[in-house]
Structures are given as structure tokens and as C-alpha cells.
Chains A and B, each alone.
Chain A
Amino acid sequence: MRQESLTLSYLRTRKKFPSVWCPGCSLGIIMGALIRAIDQLGLPQDDVVLASGIGCTGRMPVYADFNTLHGTHGRALAFSTGIKLANPRLKVITVMGDGDATAIGGNHFIHTARRNLDITAVIANNNIYGMTGGQYSPTTKPGMKASTAPYGMVEPPFDVCELARGAGAPFVARTTSYHAAQMTKLFARAIDKKGLGVVEVVSHCYTTAGRRNGFKGPVEMMEREKELAVPLTGYLKRKQKDPEHTLAEGEFLTGVFVDIDRPEFCEVYDELRRRVREDS
């Protein structure tokens, strides 16, 4: 009950509810975890910007009582870059879907990681385009059926965390929509991180992907997330004992993959301003 009233106090209750999300959607869990993380960090609502692109995830900002921006498809991080650079005092949290972040917005995703702005990038990865009715995305698993992959997905998928790591993000983590408590902790760490914090949330869309791929309901999909998630720490320990140990088919690692310190871009640019002013 306490938890429920906490999240409620951050919602725009005067706004038109219920949400656009289907029953069993993981986005409500992700929004709840995000709000709890923001609350734990004690960030004033006036200082938080929640930005998004297009898709089901893109609808998240409208429900939460922050400075909110629902931008264009794939461009959430580009909008966020402008916001953050113009007012570095603002805490910018950007929520995206897998198509939003890695297909149409892939360019902005890697360049935001390269620049290393102090932004939190949450990627709800349900391996599908939900809002448009279940088309395959760059993270759709091979063989998975989608409305535009009626015979199964034939393209190889992106690994969102590896992409973020390769592009230079100093904080990269993965969790699932089943692990709500871990998600809250990871969100808090990513927001607190000086630099781009990327958190991929392995999630599900029963309506457009689950039904087409033989799942009985969203609960079954969440249980599957639980089964397939392998904590990184446990995996590394086992690997130490048995170097031959690998992930079974479908399994994926969760936890913090990258947590390093890199110069943050707003600070770098501020330093440039100081240097140029001293010279002139």
C-alpha cells in the first residue's frame, strides 16, 4: 500500500487515465521502478525531465508529473542532448523502446554514448514494435514471429548493452521487467552516474508478440524472463570454476556490465568555455 501511494503521488492524476497500455504490459512496472528510483534519490520533480520518443514507451512521460517531453520517433536522445546542454542542472531521463533506440534512433544512441552526456537512457526492450501491431525490431530474436516476419525472424539481433558498451557508455546494465526491485536499484545507480547511464529492461508485449509466439499470457512471458535471466556475478563465478560454461540457448546476462568513469560532456564543454574565455 505504501509503495502504491508513493508512485501515485508522482502521477498526473488529473490527466486522462487509464493509460494506453494493454493489461499485462511491462511499461507500468518500468514506470513504477523509475518513480521509486527518483524518489529514493530525493530528486525534486521540478528538476527532472522525462523525455521519450514514439511508441508505447513514448507514452510514458505524459503520466508522470515531471517536465515531460514526448518527442519524435528515435530522436528522444537528440532532444535530451539539447535540453541537457542548455540547462545541465536538469536531470534528464530518456525512455525508449527497442525500435526507438536501436533502429530509427540508433545513430543518436551511439553518439550520445560517445559524447557521454549526463543522461539516463532506459530502453524497454520487448523485441517488437508494439504500438504499430507487432512488427520485428532490431532486437527480435531469430525465429520469433512478427507481423512483418510471418515465417520467423531471419535477421540477426542487436545486443543493446554491447552496443552501448562499444559506443562508450560509462554505465551499462540489464534487468528484466520481472526483477522490479533490481530494476529500481539499477535505475537509481544509472541516474546517479555522472555520464550516460544505460539500462536495458528485457520486457514483453503479450498483445502483439506473445500471442503470435505461443504464450498463454503475460504472466508466462514474465516467468520466462525470470528463467532466462542469468545474473552476471553468478555467471562469472561459475565460469571461474568451469571455463567451458556458457549460456544456454535463450539465456541472457543481467546486472551491471560497465561502470567506469569517463569525462562527462557538459563538464568538458564548461571547461572549454573557461579556457576560451581566459585566452580571449
Chain B
Amino acid sequence: MAKKQTLKPKDPRLHFTSGNEAVGLGALYAGCNFFGGYPITPSTEVAELMARELPKRGGTFIQMEDEIASMASIIGASLAGAKSMTATSGPGFSLMQENLGFACITEVPCVIANVMRGGPSTGLPTKVSQADVMQARWGTHGDHPILVLSPDSVQECFDLTVTAFNLSEKYRTPVILLSDETIGHMHEVIRIPEPGDMPVIEREASAEIPADWYKPYDYGVHSTAPLIPFGEGYRYHVTGLTHDEQGFPTGRPDESRKMLEHLLGKIEHAKDVYHVERLYLEDADSAIIAYGCTARVCKRTIYTVRHEGVKCGMLRLKTIWPLPVREIDEVCEQNDVIFVPELNSGQLMRAVKRVNRGRATIVPINRIDGQLFNPHDVAEMIINRSHGIDESDQLII
């Protein structure tokens, strides 16, 4: 009898999974113990994984009555000490905007995964898009800080979700993981690190000062007060009104300015929020600036154009907001042409143009038909543009 072939023991850290599920796995690794959400394509797999896994680990999954309530529930849970998140797509993300602003002004940590689909409105629910870049930045009203991270692989869905939780805790601010339908539904093998291999920032449970001295807010230039959960003996007020360091509402011009300057400054001056990947930029005279699924496609594009003798590199933005101005500036300075491919009509491109200040030629490449870029189409455009065959200002597929 033939002996059963012994397979190599499977590495338990390796998982074949989708981008959306990797977001959930990353959240669990980061200690997420509360998920409040509402079903929406193409993000629902995140909720499904959390519904399955959270109760096993003592956490809570709740399907709220809508996305407005989902966002409110994760803020409430965070105030009560939980590490909380929600996941949604286009229309649901629109509904979350008001309470997202509430999380910004009250400085409540939480993570929102927005898996982008075609819009506006119901748009193309099952098709990919990158058209929420500006909504992620400016969707909620008023001046506000925001952190937006964009993964380009299933592994990075995991990694950046952990980063999102860490930045959210560190800076007491909502963090948006801006994924898209392609990355969310793509399956790849990922390696889940052992507990402790990736740093995880935990909430402080005590301010180590008497309750009477505790201020829920610290408006120092670079400082952020620890957020002590409700019920720990530090009674304080949380309001969406402009407030002083005690959390009490104020309408005084000096106090209002101080609060907003703190909110904006704490993210702007942070050094560890800017994550980018540089590819073949050393000898490049043209460069692609891209993010998410488009950046993933363009990795192949670069290989093709380089084969044709075009010295093109890529700056991939893992952090979209705040805009990595220094990194973009460097690329604009060193290259003659910058291609900005996006699955929208040019949302990041305008931001790149502002940083560029007329130095390099900015060439947007746009696709708005719900389809992913074909790396060879993009390559052909870049090659034609580089060889002077196509001189147009904008390349549209």
C-alpha cells in the first residue's frame, strides 16, 4: 500500500484570505473588541468576520439600525473603554459623516473602514472606485483633522488596520482605512504576526492624577490628554460643542481658537503618520503617484515601461491624509513628469498640483467606468507620453 505523502506542516501564521477579512483580522490583532455596523456592499465581509469572531473573544458585535447609529455606537463604546470600529462603503460612509466630525471634536479614538465603490449615490455597488478620497478628507463639516490610510494588498489591509488603531489611540482621533472593492475582495496569502510582534497601543485606564485634577483635553502644542473611560472615577463632560480643556462648552473666541488649533495641529505636526512606499525613484525622470488598487496595478506598469526604456518610478501613498507633502514635494522636484492615475476624475491630482507649484508636468490618468486599470494600458500611455507621441494634458481610459 502506498504510503500517504506527508505534507509539510502548514505554517499556522499563514492565511489565505480576502482584503476585507484581513481588515477584521488586523482589528482583532490590534485589540478591537467592539464592532457596530450595517450591511453594505462591498464591505460586508468585515462585519461578517467580526460577528463570528468577537463573541468568541469576549467582545461585542452589533448590527445597528443604520450607519448613523453604527458610527454613534462605536464612539459610545470607545468612551466606555472599548477599542471600536465600523466598516462601510460609499452611501454608508456619507451617513457616518456627522458623527465622524463628533469623534474628531471630542477626540474619541475609533477606526472606520470605507471600502470604496462607484458613486455618486447608489452608483456601482459591486464595482471598484477611488472616488471617496475627498469625502474621506472633507466629508464632515467644519475644519477638522483626519487620518486616512490606503492599503494596496491583503497583507496591508491587515497591517494598516493595526496602524489605524495605533494612530487612533495615540492621537485620540478617528482613522479612516480607505480600501476599495478590488483590494477588499482580492484573496492573497497573508502572514499574521505573533502577538507582540507588531506594536499595539493600549488605552490608558488611569491618568495617575486625582480625579479632580483630570482634564479630558490638553490643548498644548503637541500634547493629547489620555482618554480615561467612563466609569473609572474620572467624571467629565463630552460634547460636540466647541469646548475648553475641561470639556465644558465655550463660545469664547480665545478658547475656540485654542481648541481648533490643537485639533488641527496634533495631526499636522505628528511625524509618524506619514507612510509611503518609494519604488524605482532613484534614477527616475518621471514618476507615478498612486494609492490603493491603482498603485498595485502600477507596480506592473513600472516593470513594463522600464522594459521600454522609460525611467519611471512610483511614490505610493499609504497615508493619503494628511497629505505627505514633503514626500510628494521631493518627487515633484526630482521628476519632469508626474502621472497621477486614479479611479476617479482627479481627486488626489489636484492636491498633488498644489504641492507641485508648477515645477513638474502633472498628468492625470483617470478611469471612471467602474473598472480597474489595466497595467498595460497605463504603461502604453506613459510610454507614448514619454516618447512625445501623446501630448495631451489628461489621459482618460
Contact = CB atoms under 8 A, between A and B. Distances in A.
B108 to A, nearest CB: 10
Interface residues of A, number: 40
Residue in B55, B74, B76 whose Cβ sees the most chain A Cβ within 10 Å: B76
A123 to B, nearest CB: 18
| Majority-rule SS of A interface residues | helix
Interface in A54-76: 61-62, 65-72, 75
A80 B74 CA distance: 10
Interface in A26-73: 45-47, 49, 51, 61-62, 65-72
A62 B231 contact: no
A100 B56 CA distance: 36
B249 A107 contact: no
A70 B80 contact: no
Interface stretch (A141-149, A199-207, A269-277): A269-277
A1 interface: no
A111 B72 CA distance: 14
Contact of A272 (B55, B73, B79): B55
Interface string B54-72: 0110101010111011001
A83 B233 CA distance: 16
A84 B167 CA distance: 25
A86 B66 contact: no
| Majority-rule SS of B interface residues | mixed
A16 interface: yes
A49 B249 CA distance: 18
Contacts of A108: 65, 69, 72
A86 B237 contact: no
Interface of B: 33-34, 36, 55-56, 58, 60, 62, 64-66, 68-69, 72-82, 84, 98-99, 102, 229-233, 235-241, 248-249
B55 A86 contact: no
B75 A82 contact: yes
Residue in A49, A85, A273 whose Cβ sees the most chain B Cβ within 10 Å: A85
Residue in B78, B230, B233, B235 whose Cβ sees the most chain A Cβ within 10 Å: B230
Contacts of B78: 82, 86
B73 A81 contact: yes
Contact of B239 (A16, A70, A82, A86): A70
Contact of A78 (B69, B230, B238): B69
B239 A85 contact: no
A71 B102 contact: yes
A86 B81 contact: yes
Residue in B34, B64, B65, B240 whose Cβ sees the most chain A Cβ within 10 Å: B65
5 contacts: A67-B230, A68-B238, A71-B102, A85-B62, A87-B82
